Amino acid sequence: MYRAPRGTQDILPQEQPYWRYVEEKAAEICCLYGYERIDLPMFEDAGLFTRGVGEGTDIIEKEMYVFEDRGGNSLALRPEGTASVCRAYLEHGMHNRPQPVKLYYIGPAFRYERPQAGRYRQHGHFGCEAIGDADPALDAEVIDMAWQFFVGLGLGLFTIVLNSIGCKKCRPEYLSLLKEHYSPHVDEVCADCKVRFQKNPLRLLDCKSPQCQPIADAAPKSIDHLCADCAEHYSDVKRYLSSLEIPFTDNPRLVRGFDYYTRTVFEVQPAGGGSQSALGGGGRYDVLIEELGGKPAPGIGFATGMERIILGLQKETVPVPSTPGPQLFIAYLGEEAGEAAIKLATTLRRNSTAVIMSTGSRSLKAQLRQANNLSVPRVVIIGEDEVKTGTVVLRDMTTSQQESIPVGKLLELLQ
RNA sequence: GUGGGUGUAGCCUAGUGGUUAAGGCGCCAGGUUGUGGCCCUGGAGAUCGAGGGUUCAAAUCCCUCCACUCACCCCA
């Protein structure tokens, strides 16, 4: 027997209302903030991600689905959306449009990881990007949008954590301070941190290993060593957020797993904590476009995990609207009636009534049982008598009332 | 990649060495010449995750593998 590959899942009909709900809320909020939808390829030139996200990151190093196609091109299933949006921005000359260009996307992303609760190898992303503007008001707007999105969904239990990790100008200086702080402790630090110390010192702050906590806590904070521009930018972002009454927590140890982030980084975390269960995250990327070969343009965005949102909705038992089902079931008895039933079903469908047509030659009892199990509110019954008289029986399944009416009258009644 | 837990029908579960693997939900059918839900009766549906070993005898004990799951790393 074939099974869905590890870390993938079927989204069955009973789960669909959640997906539809979240997607609709996403589209709604994007419209409110002036974002337009873009759909991107699910695979791209692998280089786009290695260059964009960064060679040394876990996502590129050990989680990316890379493959060679028959033409010998190295492609990768997209592990995230931002790099693709930037690629599209460049490819379609969007720098000629009014800036910032605001785009959002909904679709799957792929990471080769061991699956667990809320983590899948194929998972749904909803993300948005605003490219071409460095105004801190835009940072605040994106965070506000993320906040409103989660509030609008009906999720109550989450917090926003915020940090600034500086820019090309001030970060190198900060990193050397950080390494200076760590260098006397390299022997006491966990194995991962020994590697981080060499390869990606910023990530030292991210460590959850107990033995590293005191050292990370005592480490110099990036926000204390920002250049004047970055410091002003960060304080402006926070000022805007406060005036918008968006609650947030400063977390000087928040760093994110992509190399392209500059200045503002933030995460939406469920109240229960759990470091692996971020509902969403994002930040500013002021050099990414340039690194991808474009004329320099700053950008900021955020992305959320659809499955994690849906798990949250289910955990908090947030009601979601159910998807509409068929309004009518057509049951029939005998061949002649069967033909009349098929004609009727077709007529009704052409008049936009959703109809389930019975099949086979089963007893009326069986057909009604099926209608009942499918929760169809009304049933049309056609037998020999009805064929002769040009009528149908219309049965209301909730009241158990039924009446015999001329076929022509049925259409009117169903309006 | 590392560690823990779990694998018996579509789903949930009983069975811990001894006939044909049991029950509930669901599904199908009958109980009504053309009437659903409740009830009654019946039916279909399981190579007991896979392979090997121990034994007269294995769903049950042992080994290996696989899958699922939770957690770590990291991220959505």
CB of A263 nearer than 7 A to strand B: no
A308-313 mean pLDDT: 92
Residue closest to sugar C1' of B69 by CA: A116
Q: Report pLDDT digits (tens) over A174-222.
A: 999 999 999 888 888 888 888 888 888 888 888 878 888 888 888 999 9
Q: Report pLDDT digits (tens) over A315-355.
A: 888 999 988 889 999 999 999 999 999 999 999 999 999 99
CA of A401 to C1' of B37 (A): 14
CA distances from A97 to A76, A89, A284, A300 (A): 29, 10, 20, 17
Which residue from A88, A75, A80 is spatially nearest to A109, judged by alpha carbons? A80
| ipTM for the whole complex | 0.88
Which nucleotide is closest to A362, CA to C1'?
Answer: B29
CB of A116 nearer than 7 A to strand B: yes
Residues in Cβ contact with A148 at an 8 Å cutoff, skipping those fewer than 6 apart: A29, A32
Residues in Cβ contact with A52 at an 8 Å cutoff, skipping those fewer than 6 apart: A82, A83, A86, A260, A288, A291, A292
Task: Indicate the DSSP class of residue A76.
Answer: E
CA of A305 to C1' of B45 (A): 38
CB of A203 nearer than 7 A to strand B: yes
Which residue from A39, A126, A45, A103 is spatially nearest to A78, judged by alpha carbons? A45
Q: Which of residues 43-102 of A touch strand B (CB under 7 A)?
A: 57-59, 80
Residue closest to sugar C1' of B70 by CA: A116
Looking at residue A54, its pLDDT comes to 85
Which nucleotide is closest to A124, CA to C1'?
Answer: B76
A163-177 mean pLDDT: 93
Residue A274 reports pLDDT greater than 80: no
Residues in Cβ contact with A401 at an 8 Å cutoff, skipping those fewer than 6 apart: A395
Q: Strand B: list positions under 7 Å from protein Cβ.
A: 1-3, 26-32, 34-37, 67-76
Dump the DSSP string for A126-188.
EEEEEES---HHHHHHHHHHHHHHHHHHT---EEEEEEE---TTTHHHHHHHHHHHHGGGTTT
Q: Which of residues 117-136 of A touch strand B (CB under 7 A)?
A: 117-120, 123, 125
Q: In which element (H, E) is residue A8 found?
A: none
CB of A303 nearer than 7 A to strand B: yes
On the CB side of A324, how many CA atoms lie within 13 Å of its CA?
A: 6
A384-397 mean pLDDT: 94
Residue extents of the structural domains in chain A: 13-170+226-315, 328-408
Q: Report pLDDT digits (tens) over A67-92.
A: 999 999 999 999 999 999 999 999 99
The CATH label, of 3.40.50.150, 3.40.50.2300, 3.40.1130.10, 3.30.930.10, for the domain at A13-170+226-315 is 3.30.930.10
Fold of A328-408: Rossmann fold (3.40.50)
Q: Which long-range contacts (CB under 8 A, 24 or more apart) does A169-177 make?
A: A169/A227, A169/A229, A169/A230, A170/A225, A170/A226, A170/A227, A170/A230, A171/A202, A171/A222, A171/A262, A173/A225, A174/A220, A174/A222, A174/A225, A174/A226, A175/A201, A175/A202, A177/A220, A177/A225
Mutual angle of helices A136-153 and A228-243, in 10-degree steps: 40
CB of A8 nearer than 7 A to strand B: no
> Hey, is A39 helix, strand or coil?
coil
Which nucleotide is closest to A125, CA to C1'?
Answer: B76
Q: How far apart are CA A101 and CA A38, in angstroms?
A: 11
Which nucleotide is closest to A304, CA to C1'?
Answer: B76
CA of A300 to C1' of B64 (A): 52
Q: Report pLDDT digits (tens) over A105-153.
A: 999 999 999 999 899 999 999 999 999 999 999 999 999 999 999 999 9
Mutual angle of helices A171-182 and A191-199, in 10-degree steps: 140
CA of A2 to C1' of B46 (A): 18
